[in-house]
Amino acid sequence: MTTEQPKLFVVVDPNDEQHVALERAAITAKLQDIKPYVYVFVAVDGDAVDTRASNDKLFRDQRWFDEAIKKPLEDAGIEYLIEVTWSSEWQASIMQSAKRFGADLIYLPVHAKVNYTRFTFTESKWELLKGAHCPVVLIRPGAKPQRKVILAAVNFQASRDVQKELNKLILEQGRHYAELYNAEFHVVNGYLDSMSYPDRGRLVRETGLDQDRIHVRNGYTSDVVAEVATDINADLVVMGTLGQNGMATSRRGNTAERLIAALDDDVMVINHE
- The domain spans of the chain are 7-139, 149-272
Q: Could you tell me which of 162, 171, 169, 170 has the C-alpha nearest to residue 242?
A: 162
pTM: 0.90
pLDDT at residue 126 in the model: 84
pLDDT at residue 115 in the model: 46
With residue 185 as reference, give the H or E element that holds it: strand 184-191
CATH code of the domain made up of 7-139: 3.40.50.620
Give the Cβ contact number of residue 208 at 10 Å: 11
Q: Could you tell me which of 26, 11, 29, 14 has the C-alpha nearest to residue 63?
A: 14
- Asked whether the domain spanning 149-272 has the same topology as the one spanning 7-139, the reply is yes
CA distance 258 to 251: 14
**pLDDT truncated to tens, each residue of the chain (273 aa)?**
456 889 999 999 998 888 999 999 998 888 888 899 999 999 988 877 778 888 888 888 999 999 999 999 999 999 999 999 999 898 999 999 999 999 999 999 987 554 444 556 677 788 888 889 999 999 988 888 889 999 999 999 888 899 899 999 999 999 999 998 899 999 999 999 888 888 888 899 999 999 999 999 999 999 999 999 999 999 999 999 886 554 434 445 567 888 888 888 899 999 886
Q: Are 82 and 40 in contact (CB under 8 A)?
A: yes
- DSSP assignment of 45-79: -TTTS--STT-GGG---HHHIIIIIIHHHHHTT--
Taking CA atoms, 128 is separated from 25, 69, 143, 252, in Å, by 20, 23, 22, 11
Query: What's the CA dihedral at 112, 266, 42, 251 to 10 degrees?
Result: -90
Q: Which residues contact 63 (CB under 8 A, 6 or more apart)?
A: none
Give the Cβ contact number of residue 47 at 10 Å: 13
pLDDT at residue 245 in the model: 54
| Axis-axis angle for helices 90-101, 123-131 (nearest 10) | 30
Q: Are 126 and 192 in contact (CB under 8 A)?
A: no
Q: Could you tell me which of 74, 91, 65 has the C-alpha nearest to residue 35?
A: 74
pLDDT at residue 17 in the model: 87
pLDDT at residue 258 in the model: 84
pLDDT at residue 119 in the model: 56
Q: Could you tell me which of 167, 221, 226 has the C-alpha nearest to residue 191?
A: 221
pLDDT at residue 49 in the model: 79
CATH code of the domain made up of 149-272: 3.40.50.12370
